[in-house]
Amino acid sequence: MDETKPVTTNTPLNKTQAQARADQVLAFRAEQQILVEQGVLILADDKAAQVRDYHDALLQQMQQEQNVDLNAQARHLSLGMQIVSFLGATALAASLFFLFFQYWGYFSTVSQVALLIAAPLLSLALAVWLQRVDDSGYYAKLAALVSFTAWVLNIIMLGSIFNITPSANAFAVFALYGFVLAYLLHVRLLLAAAILCSFMFIGAQFGSWMGSYWVHAGEYPEHFLLASAMFFAVPMAFKQQRFDGFANIYQTLSAVVFFIAVLVLANWGSASYLPWSADLIEGVYQVVGFVASALLVLFGIRTHAAKLMLTGNVFFALFLYTKFFDWWWDWLPKYLFFLLVGLTAILALTMFNRFRAIQHAWMQSAGGEHV
């Protein structure tokens, strides 16, 4: 029997891709077993062993490098660990905040400044050390989130101690550190936090340029439209192949912010900067909302991005139902209103089914792969 060749892949896989490949291998084994039992597929022993050894080596390598789950129990445990890790990070961040507030009054100003600067640096060092000693990465990510919290505390408390005039620039430095930590330790939660801080900073800057006070940037949703489009395009301009789930976070978060802004303007045109009547502005943003959410669904289908597709669907439904509410809530008896809502849901279901059938037929005629 030939010795099993070392497993190589053309491009390094991120965790999601590695998990998909592992699932594919496990599904192949299960199907192969059924085919062998039914006598459909009979492989020579040496060939079967060769395939089995290759897959064993592949699974072992992916488990070591990407910590993939090789059975359903492990997958459930991983999900549990992610949830616990998130809760733990939030609790540790809150604890750090309250710990500092509880005792900072007992320190001299010099000690306070030294502590505030040391906290993010020490927790960063801890995160880097943990990443080297713990393969799962969960503890390193927890430490990274603590470091980010320490950084936010650092900036806020320095401003407080020295009575510094509050400024939106704080969000820019939060975002900068958040991005660096996210890419350094592959922390998706920190990427989301950094993107949100960037939205706050960009929105505040737009607000200042338009003559309002930065604290109230959120009252004018148009401040966030350009920023959300910009962040949506980031994964297209800069490939996020090596960073598992980052592209998804950029695009889903940007889409959510964009659609919330459009949804607000579609129902409250007077918050717009556009020099038209509120009714016209609302009408324009309703059209923008419908078109953009439909386009996002198509984009999600084309790029196989299920979360984007879902986001598009949810906002399309929201735009539709808010319009229904506007048109019919006062005018129709409630049973008829909800009947109409139900009927549109059935109509949408029929359309999705037909679309699915067309896609299935197209894939069969193309002799293509079944995904």
Partner 1 sequence: MSEQPFKKLLWLAVATVVVVNGVILSKVFINRSAILAELPLTERELRLPNQYGFAGENSGKRIGLKWTTPNPEPISDEWQYQYRHTNRAISVSDAHFASFQFQPCQPGRYRRQQQRAWVLLEFNGQSYSDYLTEAEQYYAFVQQANSELTAEVQLEQQQRAADLLQTANERATRLYVIDAAATAELLQTVLAARPTTPDSKLVIVPAEIQASYNRCAKTEQTKSNEIIVTRLAVQSLYVPRRLAAALPQNNDNIESEPLQATIYYGKLHEPWISTLE
Binding site for partner 1 (CB under 8 A): 98, 101-109, 113, 116-117, 120-121, 124, 128, 151, 154-155, 158-166, 173, 176-177, 180-181, 183-184, 186, 208, 211-216, 219, 242, 268, 270-271, 277-278
Give me the least distance between CB of 94 and partner 1, in Å please.
Answer: 11
- C-alpha 282/C-alpha 265 separation (Å) is 6
Name which of 76 and 216 has its Cβ closer to partner 1.
216
Q: Look-up: residue for tokens 């949408």?
A: 348
Any residues with CB less than 8 A from the CB of 48 and at least 6 apart, and which?
none
- 257-267 as b/e, with b when 16 or more CB fall inside 10 Å? bbbebbbbbbb
Name which of 214 and 250 has its Cβ closer to partner 1.
214
Phi first, then psi, for residue 107 (nearest 5°) are: -100, 150
Give me the least distance between CB of 112 and partner 1, in Å please.
Answer: 9
Name which of 275 and 368 has its Cβ closer to partner 1.
275
SS3 for 266-291 is: HHCHHHCCCCCCHHHHHHHHHHHHHH
Identity of the amino acid at 367: G
DSSP state of 317: H
Name which of 90 and 160 has its Cβ closer to partner 1.
160
Phi first, then psi, for residue 241 (nearest 5°) are: -50, -40
Give me the least distance between CB of 292 and partner 1, in Å please.
Answer: 23
Give me the least distance between CB of 148 and partner 1, in Å please.
Answer: 10
Name which of 25 and 140 has its Cβ closer to partner 1.
140
CB atoms within 10 A of CB 149: 23
Tokens coding 113 = 């400044």
Give me the least distance between CB of 16 and partner 1, in Å please.
Answer: 16
Give me the least distance between CB of 208 and partner 1, in Å please.
Answer: 8
Give me the least distance between CB of 64 and partner 1, in Å please.
Answer: 16
- C-alpha 212/C-alpha 251 separation (Å) is 29
Phi first, then psi, for residue 254 (nearest 5°) are: -60, -45
Name which of 139 and 299 has its Cβ closer to partner 1.
139
Name which of 162 and 331 has its Cβ closer to partner 1.
162
Name which of 242 and 354 has its Cβ closer to partner 1.
242
- 202-224 as b/e, with b when 16 or more CB fall inside 10 Å? bbbbbbeeeeeebeebeebbbbb
CB atoms within 10 A of CB 154: 21
Give me the least distance between CB of 3 and partner 1, in Å please.
Answer: 29
**For residues 260 and 196, is the Cβ–Cβ distance under 8 A?**
no
Name which of 106 and 335 has its Cβ closer to partner 1.
106
Give me the least distance between CB of 326 and partner 1, in Å please.
Answer: 17
Contacts by residues 63-69 (CB-CB < 8 Å, ≥ 24 positions apart): 63/22, 64/135, 65/18, 66/13, 66/14, 66/15, 66/18, 66/19, 67/15, 67/135, 67/136, 67/137, 68/15, 68/18, 68/19, 68/22, 69/19, 69/22
